[in-house]
Structure 1
Amino acid sequence: MQESEQSEKNMIGSLLDEDESECSEFRSSITKSQQHSQSPVKSFKDVKESPLVLDDAGQQEFPSNDPNNFYFTVQPAFIQQRQHSMSYEFHQYMVSQSSIYYPYQDGYFSQKRTKRMQSSTDSEQTISQQCQDQYASLIIQQSFIQGNDFQRDKIFKALIDDLPLLSKHKFGNYVIQKIIENSNQNLRTLIFEQLYPNLIEMCYDKFGCRVIQKLLEFIQNHQRIQLIQSIKSQVLNLIFDQCGNHVIQKIIDLASDAEFIIDIVTNNVDHIVSHPYGCRIAQKCLEIFPNQKLQQLYISLIPLCERLQFCQYGNYIVQHMITQGPPKGFEAIGKFVKARILEVSQDKYASNVAQKYITLASDEDIANICKILMNNCVPPMLLILINNQFGNYVMQNFYSKCNDKQKEQIQIQINKYEEHQFTQFGRHFLQFLARCQSC
């Protein structure tokens, strides 16, 4: 080894004595020989003429760490593109092609995912276990929808013992919902009987409550009554639950004899209407049931409206009473808004109530509000609301409801103020006035 190194040094040393041209020729020959030995592919043309395609899925793309054994894997579709230029073909080869997508039921899945779904159904797993897989559950849903009676019975018999478990599963609950939608009343009765012992537990579950809602929608009326009676003692707790309140909303939508919920809401109205989930139930009652059945609830709500309009959730109840409530409720809310117009208009939640009331207010109410805003207090109430981040929207809505004489009075008052007295929110209102005048 030392002798070979010494001979190379002697050879290079002898070259140093020669002229520069011979040294450059020697270096170029060494470089070409190294490039030829390190890569078996001399040019890109060789890649096209002798492609190496991996037929075996288990074969590694780079079986050796030795760079001398490096080789390209060329796709057959790429080899057929001979009419293109070499640079374009090289770009197509280096940039990976987009996945081929196949349509499937509710969306599109890549070829890789499609193979995964097919392999999952061909495995030794039971149908119940496959329902707990994201992609296999989709195939089972499609098989039940498009299958014949024999295939449906086979799927249902394989799942009937695991219905409570699958109903609370992340992916299995969708299979149960599809079976309820696309089966006959006999199968729905069997599902109802199987789930009935676990009814309360499923109402509190994130996925189980969806199955209960679907069951309420498709079962027969006497079964629906039986289901409602079984959860009647838990209605108040379900109202305050994140998942259970959806079951109660479904009962209000579907059941004709769900008036007992109105009594529960009326007796606990103070807590329910200010709760993030309870206010949904109160709104649903106000939307679905006729006013003659809501008289007692309205009587309980009217004294609370002054406080609820400043509540993050209760303000929606007050807005609903403005639009669809009884006249007495509208008058009571109007008194609150007019008496505290400055405070209400500057609040994040109560300003929505003020806008809703102004939209439906009579001309007499608008005139009264205009007198309140045109007072001589310092700083002027009109200027305070215009420069507020919430009040300027109330003023825009109020200006749209005013008649020509009232609009002229507002513009005269605004012209008294100098430009530096307006904040960025006040300038929003000035831009709104400019748009109104240009129209």
Structure 2
Amino acid sequence: MQETEQSEKDMIGSLLDDDESECSEFRSSITKSQQHSQSPIKSFKDLRESPVLNEDPTYQEFPSADPSNFYITVQPTFIQSRQHSSSHEFHSYMLPQQPMYYPCQDGYFSQKRTKKLQLQTEIDSSISQQCQDQYASLNIQQSFIQGNEYQREKIFKGLVDDLLLLSKHKFGNYVIQKIIENSNQNTRTLIFEQLNTHVLEMSQDKFGCRVVQKLLEFILNQQKVQLISQIKPYALKLIFDQCGNHVIQKIIDLVTDAEFIIDLVTNNVDKVVSHPYGCRIAQKCLEIFPNDKLQELYISLIPLCEKLSFCQYGNYIVQHMINSGPPKGFEVIGKFIKQRIIEVSQDKYGSNVAERYIKLAQEDDIASICKILMNQTVPPMLLILINNSFGNYVMQNFYLKCNDKQKEQIQIQLSKYEEHQFTQFGRHFLQYLARFHAC
């Protein structure tokens, strides 16, 4: 009680010396304000959950111009500080807004629409426009697959005038592909006739090239010939194109009369096999066509094997020739690798070629490589390779191919080296040997 009186004296100050009635009136106003300041409401979450103080329908809760309003008069400092806050909770309470929908960059509808908005837009828009929306296009695809002939015909008539536009659209191209897959030959012919003159343009488009590939799968053989006749004059351009090379690969897979692609690769072999997209076409030719049709291509590739072994993309061609190429090519590659085993094994791409060759090498070839590595050179070749980030993997594959006598020679040679002569890669090789002999 004494503490309360002392606090009142501190707050009231010199007014205690005035008239007693004035002091009591001021004391009562202070007491009321303290009661409000000790309110259990500490946040806007509590504010939402607090009971309604006034049930009058004309009562405006917040904000209010009435100076007697609780939210304005009691906690003005708190509210003012929260108005400058970036709190999502505050703004969602203070400034309720309707959700805003932002359209896709090249789509017709918003991806964030509500179900009501989706239904409304599907009613108001055409089928062609709906195909350009992510979710509506899925509905159209399912409707076409599961629908009857009348429904399919209605869908196709709704988009037939915009086939080229939809074929190059990121969502619309899936609708066109599904129609090609699930329609009859007459519908496919109509699609082919509209798109045939635009096949080059579509082949260089990241979405349109998919439609061209799908057409090649389902159209008639005579239509394939017409489509390829549109592509053939520009085939070399498409080989080097990021999207067009997929169309060329599809032609190799599906069309029997595609030897003109082998001729293009053979005549431009140096550029094609060292190109990131062109090397895919060269690999596809080597995988699909029989050896009797690849003789000229092999003849052009064999002199380039040494150069291609150090190429980021060409090394895959050399690896394929080691696996499936003619014996003459394997012999040339083996001779080159044995002569430059140190250089090839330490190269990021050449090491892949060396590993592939060692896995398929004969005993005589392994013995020749072992003899080269055991030479008393300074620094020792064996130590150089096992200490290299790429060479140590080549040596692991080489050790697997060695016979018992050769393995023993390698172990004796390694025992002569001191511990500080091994790098982290050399220690990896030693750990490999320990695991190998522990099995």
Same structural fold, with TM-score higher than 0.5 when normalized by the shorter chain: yes
2:387–2:426 Cα contact (<8 Å) kept? yes
Q: How far apart, in 2, do the equivalents of 1:16 and 1:290 lie?
A: 113
Confirm or deny: 8 A CA contact 1:38 1:68 kept in the other structure: no
Give ranges in structure 1 of 5+ residues lacking alignment: 1-7, 18-23, 51-61, 71-110
C-alpha deviation, 1:320, in angstroms: 0.2
Mapping of 1:242-391 within 5 angstroms? 242-391=242-391
User: How many angstroms does 1:184 deviate by?
Assistant: 1.3
Aligned equivalents of 1:42 and 1:172: distance in 2? 46
1:135 is displaced (CA, Å) by 2.2
CA contact (8 A) 1:279 1:313 kept: yes
Distance 1:405 1:202, change over 3 A: same
Deviation at 1:228, TM superposition (A): 1.0
Residue 242 (structure 1) shift: 0.9
Distance between the aligned counterparts of 2:190 and 2:237, measured in 1?
A: 28
Contact 1:117–1:135, Cα closer than 8 Å, also in 2: no
Return the offset for 1:203. Answer: 0.9
| Aligned position for 1:31 | 34
Structure 1, residues 325-358: CA drift from partner, whole Å, max 9, x if none?
1111111110011011011001110100000000
The alpha-carbon distance between structure 1 residues 40 and 212, as it changes in their structure 2 partners (threshold 3 A), is: closer
Letter in 2 for 1:240: F
The one-letter code sitting in structure 1 at the alignment partner of 2:355 is Q
- Looking at structure 2, the residues matched to 265 and 118 of structure 1 have their Cα atoms a distance apart, in angstroms, of 51
Q: Distance in 2 between matches of 1:425 and 1:120?
A: 65
Q: Which amino acid aligns with 1:294?
A: L
Change (3 A) 1:173 1:41: closer
Matched-pair contact (CA < 8 Å) for 1:192–1:215? yes
Secondary structure class of the residue paired with 2:282: helix
SS at match of 1:118: helix
Shift of 1:11: 8.1
What residue in structure 2 maps to residue 5 of structure 1?
A: none
Tell me the distance in 2 between the aligned counterparts of 1:180 and 1:218: 7
Give the corresponding residue for 2:141.
141
Cα displacement string for residues 121-141 of structure 1 (whole angstroms, at most 9, x for unaligned residues): 435222212222222222222
- Distance in 1 separating the partners of 2:336 and 2:211: 44
Residue pair 2:318, 2:353 contacting (<8 A) in 1 also: yes
Pairwise CA distance, 1:414 = 0.6
Matches within 5 A, 1:5-84: 12-13=12-13, 30-34=33-37, 47=49, 64=63
Aligned to 2:223: 223
1:202 is the counterpart of 2:202: yes
Helix, strand or coil for the counterpart of 2:35?
helix
Change in Cα spacing, 1:27 to 1:355, as seen in structure 2 (3 Å) is: farther
**CA spacing shift, 1:196–1:40, aligned 2, 3 Å:** closer
Given that 1:305 and 1:333 are in contact with CA atoms closer than 8 Å, whether structure 2 keeps it comes out as yes
**What residue identity is the alignment partner of 2:217?**
E
Q: 1:422 corresponds to which residue?
A: 422
Q: What is the Cα deviation at residue 43 of structure 1?
A: 7.6
**Higher alpha-carbon deviation: 127-136 or 342-351:** 127-136
Letter in 2 for 1:343: E
Q: Contact 2:9/2:16 (CA < 8 Å) preserved in 1?
A: no
Q: CA deviation at 1:167?
A: 0.8
CA distances 1:153-209 after superposition (whole Å, capped 9, x unpaired): 111101111101111112211111111112111111110011011111111111111
Q: CA deviation at 1:360?
A: 0.4
Question: Match of 2:273, as an amino acid?
Answer: V
Gap change, CA 1:42 and 1:433, over 3 Å in 2: closer
Which one-letter code corresponds to 2:314 in the other structure?
Answer: G
For residue 83 of structure 1, what is the aligned residue in structure 2? none
How has the CA–CA distance of structure 1 residues 63 and 313 changed in structure 2, closer, same or farther, with 3 Å as cutoff? farther
Once the two structures are superposed, what CA deviation does each residue of 1:286-306 show, in whole Å capped at 9, x if it has no partner?
001111111111111111101
How is 1:163-178 mapped onto 2 (pairs within 5 angstroms)? 163-178=163-178
Tell me the equivalent position of 1:81: none
Q: 2:359, 2:397 within 8 Å by CA — same for their partners in 1?
A: yes
- 1:347-373, CA deviations, whole angstroms, 9 ceiling, x for partnerless residues? 110100000000000111111100000
For the aligned residue pairs, the C-alpha RMSD in angstroms reads 3.3
Distance 2:252 2:369 in 1: 39
The alignment partner of 1:231 has SS state of helix
Structure 1's 371 and 30: CA in aligned 2 closer, same or farther, altered over 3 A?
same
Deviation at 1:284, TM superposition (A): 0.2
**How far apart in 2 are the matches of 1:343 and 1:256?**
42
Q: What is the CA–CA distance in structure 2 between the aligned matches of 1:309 and 1:28, rounded to whole Å? A: 91
Q: Given the superposition, is the C-alpha separation of residues 428 and 10 from structure 1 closer, same or farther in structure 2, using an over 3 Å criterion?
A: closer
- What is the aligned partner in structure 1 of residue 157 from structure 2? 157
Task: Render the CA deviation track for 1:86-117: whole Å, top value 9, x for unaligned.
Answer: xxxxxxxxxxxxxxxxxxxxxxxxx9666277
Deviation at 1:12, TM superposition (A): 2.5
In 1, the alpha carbon distance for the partners of 2:432 and 2:64 equals 71
Quick one: structure 1 residues 162 and 390, their matched pair in 2 at CA, closer, same or farther if it must change by over 3 Å? same
How many pairs are equivalent? Answer: 376
Report the Cα offset of residue 146 of structure 1: 2.0
Q: Structure 1 residues 179, 159: closer, same or farther in 2, change over 3 A?
A: same
Q: Partners of 1:418 and 1:138 in 2: how far apart?
A: 67
Residues 54-95 of structure 1 deviation map (CA, whole Å, 9 limit, x = unaligned): xxxxxxxx975899579xxxxxxxxxxxxxxxxxxxxxxxxx
CA distance in 1, matches of 2:340, 2:45: 87
Gaps of 5+ in 2: 1-7, 18-26, 53-60, 73-110
8 Å CA contact 1:120, 1:136 repeated in 2? no
1:120-131 equivalent positions in 2, closer than 5 A: 121-131=121-131
**Partners of 1:65 and 1:193 in 2: CA distance:** 69
Residues 347 and 390 of structure 2 are in contact (CA less than 8 Å); yes or no, is this contact kept in structure 1?
yes
Asked whether the 8 Å contact 2:134–2:171 carries over to 1, the reply is yes
